[in-house]
Structure 1
Amino acid sequence: MSGAPLSKPKPSLNLRWLALWGPGLLVMLADCDAGNVVTAAQAGAQWGLQLLVVLLGLIPLLYMVQELTVRLGIFTGRGHGELIRSNFGALWAWVSAAGLVIAVLGSLVTEFTGVAGIGEMYGV
């Protein structure tokens, strides 16, 4: 073996682009599901522009929460459940996980409802 140091392979430009934009695109696309579109349309039909001020006020708060969550994950190198378990105990980690499971199941119901509604429109 020679004494030359081994260099780390440099990731391709596509992989770096995906690592940079991938998580943000996933979060952005997560709000374009059938349940969200139907809820937004229904709220818009019922309330018009009255809730626009509330939505504009929520933008900085939502950005701050997501940004702080990302910083916490990068800084600690641990996930949401791990941090809850280490700081608050296993019971609260399970409570948090149960809440996430309920939210995911609710989201799946709205997805399948949206698919069924589109299928019904086309006679499927």
Structure 2
Amino acid sequence: NLRDWQVNYSPVLSPRSMNFDSRLVEPGPPPIITDEGILLFYNSADFSGIYRVGAALFDINNPANLLKRTDKPIFEPELSWEKNGQVPNVVFFEGTVIHNGTLFIYYGAADTYVGAARIKLD
């Protein structure tokens, strides 16, 4: 009925002190089911205001169980149009498409632009 939700009493992913994701974490695009588990790209920020992207892997049999997450960002502002705009130094993943063995990511940059990046899946 989409009205009676059972909510976990604790977060499944939290900010980490003294890390690229120390200020906030928020979900990015819909998770991807893999052979190793459920892959979630998440957007994050530190206290200097730089927004970066991390990745977390959740248990396929218990989707609330975090198995591991990246210690360093997998994507961060590097290009001038990612560093300069309405809100500087911001990138955040919003959409994914898997096509011919390549993962395409659509992402926001500096709260001004939409970018695209790709990586081969092995």
TM class, shorter-chain normalised?
Answer: under 0.3
Return the structure number with greater strand share. 2
TM-score using structure 1 length: 0.20
Q: Which has the higher contact order (CA 8 A, sep 6+)?
A: 1
Structure number with larger C-alpha Rg: 1
TM-score (norm. length: structure 2): 0.20
